[in-house]
Structure 1
Amino acid sequence: MKIIVPMAGRGSRLRPHTLTIPKPLIPVAGKPIVHRLVKDIAKVLNEPIEEIAFVLGEPAFFGDEVVKSLEELAATLSAKASIYRQNEPLGTGHAIMCAEPSLSGPAVVAYADTLIKADFDLDTDADSVIWVKQVENPEAYGVVKLNERNEIIELVEKPKNFVSDLAVIGIYYFKDIGVLKNELQHVLDENIVNGGEYQINDGILRMMKDGKVFKTGTVDEWMDCGNKAVTVETNGKMLQILEIEKDEVLVSESMENHDSTIIPPCFIGDNVKLVNCKIGPFVSIGEGTVVENSIVKNSLIQTNSVIKNANLDEAMIGNFVEFDGEFNKISIGDYSSLV
């Protein structure tokens, strides 16, 4: 099994946090988004992962440190890491085709801007499985239309009239991704564009017309990381899940607690120092950060920052930040100083 991860986008909706680090590498509940996504997919697949192909943007932004992080991620699953580049933002279908040498055999395609929790048996008899989540407002999403055999027969983008409430979340299984590759090659050759870009859906629709069987896989949780507000919300949801599962150490033994109260669930990284604080619930604090005389809840604070005299709620603070102020719903990027 292979996993194909297109992640070349700059994450403009999550600025300023994505000015210095690609969005898939921003930590949520202590681990980068793409690390959590890949490992959760591997858990659902429950079979050896042979290769993980990452499609990155230009080397100037997705540089050596990014590549090293992704190679280390693949190694934790005993998989080969393949690195490809999408130097122009030409769409989801084009991004997949940038990994053309890896497009053979069974594979999962997963766009690295969401997190999931799922527990189902993958229908490997189907030609493809599109992972979906039941939503209350399907008109805001791309949804699948099913026939009487619960096979997907159509993809409808933001339907004005009700089609179904099963939203496509951007994760797909293909029994042979080489079939998708061939169809996407037709899309590129025939210059079939939607919104000025080459889309994965056009390749999928060609597969459906050719009689390929598409089924659904339903996830229990689908958590977005598209902007600051939903990333903070996702951090809280993930902490709740991890607190129940107890698969990860959330509070490091190396953290220093000086007259501070921690209200779980929280992630507290290595060598964090808390002085006269009230932390939690739903707070993540990255390694090396110092928080003094502060109240923090529902917030994300990354590594090596210094926070003093703050009352934070729904805040997102980057790496190497200095903050001493009264604002509570702030969003501060890396290497900033507000004192």
Structure 2
Amino acid sequence: MKALILSGGKGTRLRPLTHTGAKQLVPVANKPILWYGIESIVAAGITDIGIILNPETGDEIQAKTGDGDRFGARITYIIQDSPDGLAHAVKVAQPFLGEDPFVMYLGDNLIQDRLDEFLDVFKGQQLDGVILLKQVPNPTAFGVAEVDARGRVLQLVEKPPVPPSDLALVGVYFFSPAIHEAIAQIQPSTRGELEITDAIQQLIRTDRAVEARQLQGWWLDTGKKDDLLAANRIILDTQLEADIAIAVEEGSQVLGRVRIGEGSVLRNSTVRGPAAIGRNCHLENCFIGPYSSIGDGVTLIDADIEHSVILEQAKIEGIDQRIVDSLIGERSHLKLAPNRPKALRFALGKDSQVELV
């Protein structure tokens, strides 16, 4: 059994942050989104993993993620020269996949459920496809599945104006090698892409066994700023373990579940969890409120932050207003004068500099 993680998207919905970086490396609770998927796959016992990259951000992802040793896996990187659809990505990866069954996982998704139970269904019933679904309140925004009482997939519809159900495809699929033949038989969609939904529909038309299973836990699509902040909040709520690797200076306090990395300094500052602070950070005269993640090497002076994600090496200083619901890119420098509004919201890409006067 192999795994294929699709990490080639350009992240247009997360711009400006992803103008200069891969969206799959944007951190949630100080860990790249991509790594959650890798860890979930390895936990299911699958250690031979291919990762689809695009030429623009592939080197960055490969340098950050490595050869898989840190995860107990072996990673093979595969370049998809143009974004021609999910089924096209499978086609590009066919030399790696060979005749092995595989799980396909979209690299910007997070799911709470373990993959083991779905893998057991796929293998135990010798199916050609298992798709994972989640009930959503707005099915017109997603690919939607119609299934019968036994869980067999009857049809898939992409963003239907009149949905046949409220069951959205979450971006995790299990396939037998039959998917390659199905992809060879489909044509590009009106978007000019080879759609995985069309390939699954082809499996169904040729009487291949395709079933669906619903997720019981949460599913997080981190494609937009607010989605990413929501993911950060949920991960901090459900998975953060308190771990303070430093001595907290007199005049500072840490309340609730907080993780602070080695080499960081808290001076006259309060951190109220759940919150995660990376290594070698400098916090002075700060309040860090719940659901905040502060990356490695961040400097915060006279800052008041809540429900925000601050990436590595960013610097924020001279603030007497609260920053909320914000995403601040790597090495960004934010400096504000007094007499600003009571709350400020930002979405800044790498190396930004902002000064409000």
Per the TM superposition, whether the score is higher than 0.5 is yes
CA distance, structure 2, for counterparts of residue 195 and residue 244 of structure 1: 44
The worse-fitting range, judged by mean Cα deviation, of 276-285 and 148-157 is 148-157
CA distance, structure 1, for counterparts of residue 291 and residue 318 of structure 2: 19
The corresponding residue for 2:327 is 316
Determine whether 1:288 maps to 2:297. yes
CA distance, structure 2, for counterparts of residue 253 and residue 333 of structure 1: 26
Tell me the TM-score normalised to structure 1 length: 0.90
Determine whether 1:109 maps to 2:104. yes
Deviation at 1:265, TM superposition (A): 0.8
Q: Secondary structure at the match of 2:344?
A: coil
Of 85, 89, 94, the residue aligned with 1:100 is 94
Q: Secondary structure at the match of 2:156?
A: strand
CA distance, structure 2, for counterparts of residue 41 and residue 148 of structure 1: 28
The corresponding residue for 2:354 is 338
Deviations 1:54-91 (A, max 9, x none): 11111x4322x42233334x223332211111111211
Q: Do 1:40 and 1:117's aligned partners in 2 also have CA atoms closer than 8 Å? A: no
Relative to structure 1, is the Cα distance of residues 245 and 296 closer, same or farther in structure 2, using a 3 angstrom cutoff?
closer
Determine whether 1:41 maps to 2:41. yes
CA distance, structure 1, for counterparts of residue 225 and residue 163 of structure 2: 30
CA distance, structure 1, for counterparts of residue 70 and residue 155 of structure 2: 37
CA distance, structure 2, for counterparts of residue 85 and residue 259 of structure 1: 48
Q: Secondary structure at the match of 2:19?
A: coil
CA distance, structure 1, for counterparts of residue 347 and residue 353 of structure 2: 12
Deviation at 1:244, TM superposition (A): 7.0
The corresponding residue for 1:67 is 62
Matches within 5 A, 1:178-193: 178-187=177-186, 191-193=187-189
The worse-fitting range, judged by mean Cα deviation, of 299-308 and 194-203 is 194-203
Deviation at 1:162, TM superposition (A): 4.5
Q: Do 2:106 and 2:171's aligned partners in 1 also have CA atoms closer than 8 Å? A: yes
Deviations 1:281-321 (A, max 9, x none): 10010011011111100101001111113321011101111
The corresponding residue for 2:247 is none
Deviation at 1:111, TM superposition (A): 1.2
Q: Secondary structure at the match of 1:334?
A: coil
CA distance, structure 2, for counterparts of residue 243 and residue 67 of structure 1: 26
**Unmatched runs of 5 consecutive residues or more in structure 1:** none
Deviation at 1:324, TM superposition (A): 1.1
CA distance, structure 2, for counterparts of residue 183 and residue 249 of structure 1: 49
The worse-fitting range, judged by mean Cα deviation, of 157-166 and 14-23 is 157-166
Q: Secondary structure at the match of 1:121?
A: helix
Q: Do 2:241 and 2:258's aligned partners in 1 also have CA atoms closer than 8 Å? A: no
CA distance, structure 2, for counterparts of residue 75 and residue 295 of structure 1: 38
CA distance, structure 2, for counterparts of residue 245 and residue 138 of structure 1: 37
Of 56, 62, 70, the residue aligned with 1:76 is 70
Higher relative contact order (CA 8 A, sep 6+): 1
One-letter code aligned to 2:61 = V
One-letter code aligned to 1:170 = G
Displacement over 4 Å in runs of 4+: none
One-letter code aligned to 1:336 = S
The corresponding residue for 1:240 is 237
One-letter code aligned to 1:322 = H
The worse-fitting range, judged by mean Cα deviation, of 275-284 and 225-234 is 225-234
Deviations 1:88-140 (A, max 9, x none): 12111112211111223121111112211114612122322111111122222
Q: Secondary structure at the match of 1:37?
A: helix
CA distance, structure 2, for counterparts of residue 302 and residue 77 of structure 1: 23
Tell me the TM-score normalised to structure 2 length: 0.86
Q: Do 2:128 and 2:178's aligned partners in 1 also have CA atoms closer than 8 Å? A: no
CA distance, structure 2, for counterparts of residue 270 and residue 50 of structure 1: 29
**Unmatched runs of 5 consecutive residues or more in structure 2:** 244-256
Q: Secondary structure at the match of 1:18?
A: helix
The corresponding residue for 2:198 is 202
The corresponding residue for 1:29 is 29
The corresponding residue for 1:329 is 345
Deviations 1:20-42 (A, max 9, x none): 21111111111111111221233
